[in-house]
Chain A
Amino acid sequence: MSHLLPDILFYVFSALSVAGAVLVLVNRNPMTCAMSLVVSVLSLAILYLLLSAHFLAVAQMIVYAGAIVVLFIFVIMLLNLTDEELGRFRFSLFKTIGAFVAVATLLAVAPDIRVSIPAPAAGDAGAPAGYGSTKAVGKLLFGEFLLPFELTSILILSAMVAGVVLAKRELQPKKTHSLVDWLLGFFRT
């Protein structure tokens, strides 16, 4: 029983995540797509939990389900497309080619999936102890991958500036304070 439950959960949630992803593709209504994406993303989080990758699961829920899908929904509401604007689903040559490429990639990749597991998978004792845990992620992030981690801050910063530049109505401040004014402001108020 104790070995069966993870297996059952794995199949249920993989099926859910694939189903969610397929629904994102085939739905015409963007809001339904976003909700299907939530299903897919949350199922993936459960799969990460089953792999004992707790940090990844939490990040998946907080960042993807919690924040990014919310942003998607904001954009959908921002555009608020009507059914006429969305148009109907049409088959086209490129979509057909795309589908073929997707299937071909899947077929090419499928036989090798087992190889990519870090240690030979034998029951539950497959991965080394602590593999994928928050602690292991932390040690990697602040040790081996320190430079990518610090670069992330520059990346986030430039995304911030880019977003402000493109979306802020007035970039030139109307009344400009100098640094001195700004510092004095603390004493005035």
Chain B
Amino acid sequence: MISITAADLSGISPALHLAVAGIAIMLLDALWPMRSKLLSVWITLAALGCSLTTSLHRLTAGVDVTLFNGAVRMDGYAHAFSAIICLASTLAVLSAPKYLRLRGVHLAEYYALLLFSVCGMVLFAAAEELIMLFLALETLSIPVYCLVGFTRTNVYSTEASMKYFVIGAFATGFLVYGIALLYGAAGSGYLVDLRAGAARAPGLFYAGMTLLLVGFLFKIGAVPFNMWTPDAYEGAPTPVTTFMAEAVKAAPFGGMIKVLFVGFGFDAAVGLWQPALVVIAVLTMTVGNLTALVQTDVKRMMGYSSIAHSGYILVGILAASKLQSADALAAVLYYLFVYVLMNAGAFGILILFSHKDKDTNAVEDLTGLARERPWAAALMAVYMLSLTGLPPLAGFFGKFYIFSYAVKAGYVPLVIIAILNSVVSAYYYLKVIVAMYFRGPEDTGRAAVFHYEGYSVFLLAMLWFTAWGILYYGIHSEPQLALARLAASSLFATAP
């Protein structure tokens, strides 16, 4: 028998806080339902805050420990992902209570499920072993399937939940089959041992690698595995969409990059995944952006835009794998951080103006916002311009770093396609700004009235923080990049 020490428990405390808080919320809700709602918001925020600060502290302190007999490794990389995910989830939680109360589904279960999902996300980026990876991914996904259908009386919400669940379960099937084949090829489930399988049993190895990649690409919504994204984004309650667009988006990259870099490696004989990802990245960017052009619903448009952003991130991953440099991977982490801020803000504005019975989701619904609510319009404009990638906002620097490393890696055609795509994307992001600033009731024929029905102090704090982050961390990106480099170099320390 192998013993478990206190060091193991303290090492995974970022995940442990979340799991314990989730269980505490369930117990509280079961035993004291009168007060459980408000308390659970605070418990959730406290747990996320604890995990966030612990992760950040350990990231800067350079903690690097392998725990639970090699199942997980809490190194700089895992801590960085944990920090990004906890930040993203905090933003999503801040936007939730008022909206859920408007919809009459403000339940403690929401926060318990969310915390379990975040716990899975933290462990997913830390997993060193395929079984752990699989279980973390399931813990990450299953609560989200339910959260998407959380407004149970809403047909669209239920439909989105069903679609997301069925397709997600299907993707999991691919992933598990891939894991089985890789284990068969390598004779071991540990990521560092996987590469040996390529020589031992090439057929099993490549089939397994393909299936595993398909599973991952489903989760990040890459073309051609993207069909669930717009429906799930549109149907889900907006705070859940916020959570999906940032945390659920960023987390799969954590496990995926680790499996690619540590598990498969960059060796040309093993690195067949690189050319495959080039094709996927081009398709993902192009299809995502072109379909986003014709959308009239902001949530749906953001769904397609998130597909396109997956494509940009794939470009960054490819550059990092070609250069094998921590700096290039740091650019990807920085991009994820910025992406979290931009998305949280954009959905936050939609929540701010959502009504008791209906959401404010259509681009048309935002017509004339600048006249009525100039501050809210200005914030939305910041998010949209940052998503487009306009300097000096953080979104620009995110893209800039990724593309410059991709050029350095020799992916010039890929970068040209990515930049063309960014130009195309300007059309649909600016469409929102045009509606807010340059159109009024005379254009749509109906007077739009904007009430802050979704307003809460939490949401306001979230909006101002994200906007400040986008403005501040764009120009002062160096501290964030330094942290990201620290994280990335710890991954490259284990990669071949």
Contacts and interface: CB of A to CB of B under 8 A. Distances in A.
Interface in A101-115: 105, 108-113, 115
Nearest to B126: A147
Given A147-B72, A151-B139, A166 B26 contact: no
Contacts of A148: 71, 129, 131-132, 135
Contacts of B201: 112, 115-116
A101 to B, nearest CB: 10
B138 A155 contact: yes
B32 interface: yes
Contacts of B34: 176, 178
Contacts of B138: 155
Interface in A125-149: 139, 142-148
A108 B206 contact: yes
A147 B206 CA distance: 28
A71 interface: no
A146 B414 CA distance: 43
A87 interface: no
Contacts of A139: 1
Contact of B68 (A105, A147, A157): A147
Contacts of B145: 162
Given A115-B200, A166-B149, A166-B161, A161 B113 contact: yes
Contacts of A4: none
Contacts of A27: none
A186 interface: no
Interface stretch (B87-95, B116-124, B248-256): B116-124
Contacts of A158: 22, 112-113, 116-117, 139, 142-143, 146
Given A112-B184, A116-B184, A171 B119 contact: no
Nearest to B132: A148
A182 interface: yes
B107 A146 contact: no
Contacts of A172: 33, 107
B207 A105 contact: yes
B47 to A, nearest CB: 14
A37 to B, nearest CB: 14
Interface string B56-69: 00000000000111
A147 B68 CA distance: 6
A109 B181 contact: yes
Contacts of A143: 1-2, 69
Contacts of B71: 144-148
A165 B150 CA distance: 8
Contacts of A113: 184, 204
A178 B203 CA distance: 60
Interface string B1-35: 11010000000100000010011001000011110
B136 interface: yes
B271 interface: no
A47 to B, nearest CB: 15
A112 B185 contact: yes
B142 A144 contact: no
B496 interface: no
Interface in B133-186: 135-136, 138-139, 142-143, 145-146, 149-150, 152, 161, 181, 183-185
A141 to B, nearest CB: 10
Contacts of B185: 112, 115-116
Interface string A79-118: 0000000000000000000000000010011111101101
A171 B131 CA distance: 34
B187 interface: yes
B469 interface: no
A173 interface: yes
B109 interface: yes
Given A118-B187, A147-B71, A147-B132, A112 B113 contact: no
A26 interface: no
- Chain A CB count within 10 A is highest, among B19, B109, B203, for B203
Contacts of A77: none
Contact of A154 (B67, B116, B150, B202): B116
A159 B141 CA distance: 10
Nearest to B133: A148
B69 A146 contact: yes
A152 interface: yes
A179 interface: yes
A176 B67 CA distance: 43
Contact of B107 (A110, A115, A165): A165
B70 interface: yes
Nearest to B12: A147
Interface string A26-70: 000000000000000000000000000000000000000000000
Contacts of A161: 26, 109, 112-113, 116, 143, 146
Contacts of A154: 19, 22, 116, 119-120, 139
Contacts of A162: 113, 142-143, 145-146
A144 B204 contact: no
B482 to A, nearest CB: 31
Interface in A157-189: 157-159, 161-162, 164-166, 171-173, 176-179, 182
B150 to A, nearest CB: 7
11 contacts: A112-B184, A115-B204, A143-B1, A145-B131, A146-B4, A155-B142, A158-B146, A161-B26, A165-B113, A166-B161, A179-B32
Interface of B: 1-2, 4, 12, 19, 22-23, 26, 31-34, 67-72, 107, 109, 112-113, 116-117, 119-120, 123, 129, 131-132, 135-136, 138-139, 142-143, 145-146, 149-150, 152, 161, 181, 183-185, 187, 200-207, 211
Q: 10 nearest interchain CB pairs? A: A116-B184, A162-B146, A112-B201, A147-B68, A158-B116, A115-B201, A112-B204, A108-B203, A147-B71, A112-B203
